[in-house]
Amino acid sequence: MSARILVIDDDPQIRRVMRSTLTAHGYQVNDARTGEEGLEELRNSNYDLVLLDMNMPGMGGMETCRMIRSSSEIAIVMLTVNNAERQKVEALDAGADDYVTKPFSTPELLARIRATLRRLPQAPGQANLQPLVAEGVNLDLSSREVTVRGQTSRLTAREFELLSYLLARPNKTLAHRELLQAVWGPDYGDELEYLRVFINRLRKKLEPDPSKPRFLVTDAWAGYRFHLPQ
């Protein structure tokens, strides 16, 4: 069954092009003119992915993204005209899974959509991962719930994929490129801001003190490591 995509953009030409292009490639597509309309559509119908314009009048893309992410794990790709790293980080931190800078080519957009919709194949040993209970942290992998000192939060799909990949290789430094290509796809490798944002999000949910991480350790210039207490 083809994926269902909601395009949220105030530009009618962009919406028409998106609908025509994505439909031609087998996706089911609907659109909304504003963040408010998009949120209402998401409440009433089921979608697999949202293409969300960052710069819209009224409720902007960032606020819309945060509102979506507060109640849904749907895949979100942000559309932006600004290639500055600060805005990319802001988009990822708001809850986006990926972003595409305008103007973009159809192959690039389709590749980003495929990468965002994909789910990480089960990594070697991942099926045997056990719940983590250590140092005041309880991580239930079956429900994707983390409880730290009595406070429970849930991992998003992408956070879970990244953490699972690290957990399946405990106490081993994993290079940035390996993590990016394993979790986001083979077309990735240099987008270090992705890892910084998602590692920080995981630390906020997993670490008793995110400023002094015990589990998600940075090995300078090399990569990240999940420190599993012995």
What percent of the chain has pLDDT above 90? Answer: 47
Q: How far is CA 42 from CA 39, 124, 157, in A?
A: 5, 35, 18
pTM metric for this prediction:
0.82
Asked if the 126-226 domain carries CATH number 1.25.40.320, the reply is no
- Looking at residue 130, its pLDDT comes to 62
- Looking at residue 7, its pLDDT comes to 97
Phi/psi of residue 65, nearest 5 degrees? -60, -45
Mean pLDDT of 154-178: 89
pLDDT at position 50 over 90: yes
Q: What's the mean pLDDT when you consider all of the chain?
A: 87
- Looking at residue 43, its pLDDT comes to 94
- CA torsion, points 11, 17, 23, 28, in degrees to nearest 10? -10
Residue 125 pLDDT level (bands cut at 50, 70, 90): very low
Model confidence pLDDT, tens digit, residues 71-105: 888 999 999 887 777 888 888 989 999 989 888 88
Which CATH superfamily, name and number, covers 4-117?
Response regulator (3.40.50.2300)
Model confidence pLDDT, tens digit, residues 28-48: 999 999 999 999 999 999 999
**Shortest CA distance to 39 belongs to which of 6, 16, 13?**
6
Mean pLDDT of 56-72: 91
- Which three-class secondary structure state does DSSP give residue 34? coil
Domain with CATH 3.40.50.2300 in the chain: 4-117
- Looking at residue 124, its pLDDT comes to 41
Q: How many CB atoms lie within 10 A of CB 74?
A: 19
* H-only helix segments in 11-144: 12-24, 35-44, 61-71, 85-93, 106-117
- Looking at residue 35, its pLDDT comes to 95
